[in-house]
Amino acid sequence: MKHAMNILGAAALASTILVGMTAQAQDGAQLFVSKACIACHGVEGKQPINDNTPKLAGQNKGYLMTQLQDIKSGARNNGQTAQMKPIVANLSDHDIEAITEYLSLLQ
Ligand code: HEC
């Protein structure tokens, strides 16, 4: 229940901050919440749950896209990558494009 409240809160927060963002970035913002990315990376990818989990806000789009594709394909694979693998497996190319656009526009 607490988790659900956090997600609703994050969605509300995201919709206020996103005024002025492209439609694609707004899509990415929704996906970042609905695909539960915030569970580990925090709201807007700013507050990761632990020291092994990266902050994502404001990172370059091209870099983030490459990382997600490499995690999906297995080209990137270290002790922590296993946590991300099942999650990226459910992301389409469109999802990856939208989410990384969104993250790159955050400050
Ligand atoms: C279970 C926790 C967890 C969830 C849920 C999760 N991540 Fe991650 N994510 C991680 C960890 C841990 C890493 C570091 C992986 C590594 O070291 O290779 C990571 C790495 C990444 C990276 C690479 C960043 C960099 O600087 O190289 C991106 C991008 C990313 N996650 C995006 C997402 C997105 C988008 C979602 C939702 C679709 C998501 N993550 C959901 C734990 C998670």
What angle (nearest 5°) sits at the alpha carbon of residue 10, between those of residues 43 and 44?
25
- How confident is the model over 9-67, as pLDDT tens digits? 555 555 556 667 889 999 999 999 999 999 999 999 999 999 999 999 999 999 999 99
Quote the CA–CA distance of 22 and 19 in Å, as a whole number. Answer: 9
Nearest CA-CA partner of 95 in 39, 33, 13: 33
pLDDT above 60 (res 106) = yes
For position 20, what pLDDT does the model report?
A: 75
User: Closest Cα to atom 37, ligand 1: which residue?
Assistant: 37
Rounded mean pLDDT, 72-90: 94
Distance from residue 12's CA to the centre of ligand 1 (Å)? 22
pLDDT band at 79 (very low <50, low <70, confident <90, very high): confident
Sign of CA dihedral 87, 93, 99, 104: positive
For position 5, what pLDDT does the model report?
A: 53
In the chain, the domains with their CATH numbers are 2-105 (1.10.760.10)
Distance from residue 87's CA to the centre of ligand 1 (Å)? 8
pLDDT band at 71 (very low <50, low <70, confident <90, very high): very high
